[in-house]
C-alpha cells in the first residue's frame, strides 16, 4: 500500500485506533492512581474528553468513507434505481452543505478563540486547538462526500471498504 492509498483508506482508521487506545490508557492511569495513591490526575480526564470530541468528528468522516453511516432506507430501497440515485445525490448535497457550514463557521470560531487567547483549565493548551477539529471535521466530511458522489455514478469502481 502506497502513501496515497494509506491516506485515502487507512489514515482515519489509524487515528481513531490510536486515540481510543490513548483514552483507555489515560482512564486506566486515572483509576490506578486514584485507588493506589488516593490522588487525582485532572489533566487525564480533560485530555480524554478532548480526544473523544476529536474521535467523534473524525469518525463522521470515517463512516462516510465506509458508507456505514446511519440512514433509513426502507422506502428508498423500494424505488427504481434511477430515483434511488437522485435521492442519494440530494442527500449527499444536503449533507455536504452542512459540512461546508461546519467548516466555515468552525474556522471563524477557531479564529475568534485564538484571538481571545483562552486556554484549557488543567492542560494549559490553547482552546483553539481543541476547536480546530470542527473545521477539520467539516473538510474531511466534504472530501468523503465528494468521493461518495463519485461512487453513486461509478458503482463498479466503488472501493468504499478499502479492501
Confidence (pLDDT) at 155:
61
Mean pLDDT of all residues in 86-102? 94
pTM, 2 dp: 0.82
Confidence (pLDDT) at 153:
84
Say yes or no to pLDDT of 103 above 80. Answer: yes
Confidence (pLDDT) at 163:
45
User: What tens digit of pLDDT does each residue of 128-143 get?
Assistant: 999 999 999 999 999 9
Phi, psi of 100 (to 5 degrees): -65, -45
CA dihedral 95, 56, 136, 18 (to 10 degrees): -140
| Helix, coil or strand: residue 63 | helix
Amino acid at each position: 500500500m502506497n502513501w496515497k492509498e494509506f491516506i485515502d483508506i487507512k489514515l482515519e482508521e489509524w487515528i481513531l485506533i490510536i486515540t481510543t487506545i490513548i483514552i483507555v490508557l489515560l482512564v486506566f492511569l486515572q483509576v490506578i492512581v486514584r485507588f493506589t495513591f488516593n490522588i487525582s490526575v485532572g489533566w487525564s480526564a480533560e485530555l480524554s474528553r478532548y480526544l473523544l470530541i476529536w474521535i467523534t468528528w473524525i469518525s463522521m468522516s470515517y463512516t462516510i468513507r465506509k458508507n456505514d453511516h446511519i440512514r433509513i432506507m426502507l422506502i428508498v430501497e423500494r424505488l427504481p434505481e434511477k430515483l434511488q440515485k437522485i435521492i442519494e445525490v440530494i442527500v449527499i448535497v444536503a449533507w455536504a452543505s452542512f459540512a461546508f457550514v461546519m467548516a466555515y463557521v468552525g474556522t471563524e470560531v477557531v479564529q475568534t478563540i485564538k484571538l481571545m487567547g483562552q486556554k484549557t483549565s488543567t492542560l494549559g493548551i490553547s482552546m483553539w486547538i481543541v476547536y480546530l477539529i470542527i473545521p477539520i471535521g467539516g473538510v474531511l466530511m466534504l472530501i468523503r462526500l465528494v468521493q461518495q458522489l463519485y461512487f453513486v455514478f461509478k458503482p463498479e469502481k466503488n472501493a468504499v471498504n478499502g479492501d
